[in-house]
Amino acid sequence: MKSIFISFDQAYHEQILDVLSANNVRGFTGWQEVQGRGTKTGEPRLGTHAWPSLNAAMMTIVEDEKVKPILDNLRALDATSKTMGIRAFVWNIEDGM
């Protein structure tokens, strides 16, 4: 099993849900307002007067074989805009209940 953590511009919320649904992923945990700044490019998203935008985040636990198709879908979505941004990170899951 793998965990996929996805950080994204809030405007992508519905499209991220669509990616998960298209890959038969039912379970996820989401955070509506996440502050951050990309490591290479992109404006800060801090929810302040100077930087009013915010990100959101989701995390899901999936079978190993679902990771590549999900990441491929997220890369394709990220390519639609140079300014909005999506990042995804994958971790191994050792155990769960």
Indicate the domain borders of the chain: 1-24+55-97
Is residue 61 predicted with pLDDT exceeding 90? yes
Q: Which residue has the higher pLDDT, 83 or 21?
A: 21
pTM, two decimals, is 0.90
d(CA 38, CA 55): 11
Q: Which residue has the higher pLDDT, 80 or 40?
A: 80
Nearest to 28 by CA among 16, 39, 40, 38: 16
- 1-24+55-97: CATH topology is Alpha-Beta Plaits (3.30.70)
Token readout for 29 is 């945990």
Q: Helix or strand or coil: residue 4? A: strand
Q: Which helix (H) or strand (E) holds 3?
A: strand 2-9
Render pLDDT for 31-58 as a digit per residue (tens, 0 to 9). 999 998 887 777 888 889 998 889 999 9
Provide the mean pLDDT of the chain. Answer: 93
